[in-house]
Amino acid sequence: MKEKINRIIRIIEKQIGKTKPVVSFSSKYKTIITTVLSARTKDETTFKVSKKLFSKYKSFRELAKAKTEDIEKQIYPVGFYKTKAKNIKKLAEIIVKKYNSKVPSNFKELITLPGVGRKTANIVLSLCFKKPTIAVDTHVHRISNRIGVVKTKKPEQTEKELKNKIDKKHWIKINELFVKFGQRICKPLRPNCKICKIKKYCNFYLNDLKADANS
Ligand code: SF4
């Protein structure tokens, strides 16, 4: 299995080509805030909104001082913008007060921050601190189960399984790679199996073929 999944990763990399990071990581401040904003929101909306937000609030300190209603105005129309406005203000306050304006570099501390779950913590660890980890979002979870390299119900189970099956040297790039692959080829509703280069390894595709042959 390990050899198979490593081959799949190489093929996807070749098919997708060089990718740009899914979130802006020009600074740790932008990375963590953008990732919190991105939950259940389209990438285009997240980018537009975070650009607007960062042009007004340039640091955790400025964001911590902002009024929640002003943050809401900046980040609308991201999904759950009222909750996210409260979360990022609180997160900024904690980072300023408790961590001297520095993003913490370990998982345990990161997940105590408002709005930061496993996925966000892992994205921050990999992008900001180059720590090997796999950030599992809906794309990574869906694609891994479709291909059949894991059989899991929850993203945290997928993370554990993938870590057992993928060479550590690939961990950091999995999120970015699968997100791009999920946006361009293995789309949620209509996966474009015709052009997909990993179809001979994919359970979803092979089961479809079997079903066609039996019909
Ligand atoms: S063959 Fe289809 S379902 Fe399988 S990974 Fe490729 S696009 Fe996704």
CA of 147 to the centre of ligand 1 (A): 7
CA-based nearest residue to 15, from 199, 156, 181: 181
DSSP 106: S
Residue 25 has pLDDT above 80, yes or no: no
Task: Please indicate whether residue 178, judged by its CB atom, sits closer than 6 Å to ligand 1.
Answer: no
Alpha-carbon distance values, 155 to 110, 140, 162, 175, 206 (Å) = 18, 8, 10, 12, 24
Mean pLDDT along residues 31-49: 91
Name the closest-CA residue to atom 4, ligand 1: 202
Average pLDDT, the chain: 93
Residue 20 has pLDDT above 80, yes or no: no
Whether 23 and 35 have beta carbons less than 8 Å apart is answered as: yes
Residue 31 has pLDDT above 90, yes or no: yes
Q: pLDDT value at position 189?
A: 93
Mean pLDDT along residues 20-49: 84
Both structure tokens of 153:
């119900």
* Residue in this structure with the two tokens 């040297």, named with its chain if needed: 169
Task: Please indicate whether residue 207, judged by its CB atom, sits closer than 6 Å to ligand 1.
Answer: no
Task: Please indicate whether residue 149, judged by its CB atom, sits closer than 6 Å to ligand 1.
Answer: no
Name the closest-CA residue to atom 2, ligand 1: 193
Name the closest-CA residue to atom 8, ligand 1: 186
DSSP 201: G
% residues pLDDT > 70 (the chain) = 96
Q: Please tell me whether residue 44 adopts helix, strand or coil conformation.
A: helix
Alpha-carbon distance values, 99 to 95, 96, 102, 110 (Å) = 5, 6, 5, 11
Whether 51 and 151 have beta carbons less than 8 Å apart is answered as: no
Residue 134 has pLDDT above 70, yes or no: yes
Residue 100 CA to residue 19 CA, distance in Å, equals 33
Task: Please indicate whether residue 91, judged by its CB atom, sits closer than 6 Å to ligand 1.
Answer: no
Whether 112 and 120 have beta carbons less than 8 Å apart is answered as: no
Mean pLDDT along residues 169-194: 94
Residue 22 has pLDDT above 60, yes or no: no
Name the closest-CA residue to atom 1, ligand 1: 199
Q: What number does the ligand 1 atom closest to the CA of 192 have?
A: 7
Residue 65 CA to residue 52 CA, distance in Å, equals 17
Mutate to test the pocket of ligand 1, among 193, 194, 212 (most ligand atoms within 8 A of CB): 193
What pTM was computed for the model?
A: 0.87
Mean pLDDT along residues 160-184: 93
Mean pLDDT along residues 151-170: 95
Q: Comparing 1-5, 62-66, 161-165, which segment has the lowest mean pLDDT?
A: 1-5
Task: Give one DSSP letter per residue of 109-143, joined into a string.
Answer: HHTTSTT--HHHHHHHHHHHH--------HHHHHH
Task: Give one DSSP letter per residue of 29-82, joined into a string.
Answer: HHHHHHHHHHTTS-HHHHHHHHHHHHHH--SHHHHHHS-HHHHHHHHTTSTTHH
CA of 181 to the centre of ligand 1 (A): 9
Q: pLDDT value at position 24?
A: 54
List the domains of the chain with CATH numbers: 2-19+135-214 (1.10.1670.10), 28-129 (1.10.340.30)
Residue 23 has pLDDT above 60, yes or no: no
Whether 103 and 76 have beta carbons less than 8 Å apart is answered as: no
Mean pLDDT along residues 151-164: 96
Q: pLDDT value at position 21?
A: 58
Alpha-carbon distance values, 63 to 70, 186, 205 (Å) = 10, 37, 47
pLDDT greater at residue 108 or residue 208: 108
CA of 183 to the centre of ligand 1 (A): 12
Q: pLDDT value at position 192?
A: 96
Both structure tokens of 127:
């992008």
Residue 145 CA to residue 129 CA, distance in Å, equals 28
CA of 41 to the centre of ligand 1 (A): 23
Task: Please indicate whether residue 204, judged by its CB atom, sits closer than 6 Å to ligand 1.
Answer: yes
pLDDT greater at residue 48 or residue 209: 48
Q: pLDDT value at position 76?
A: 96
Residue 162 has pLDDT above 60, yes or no: yes
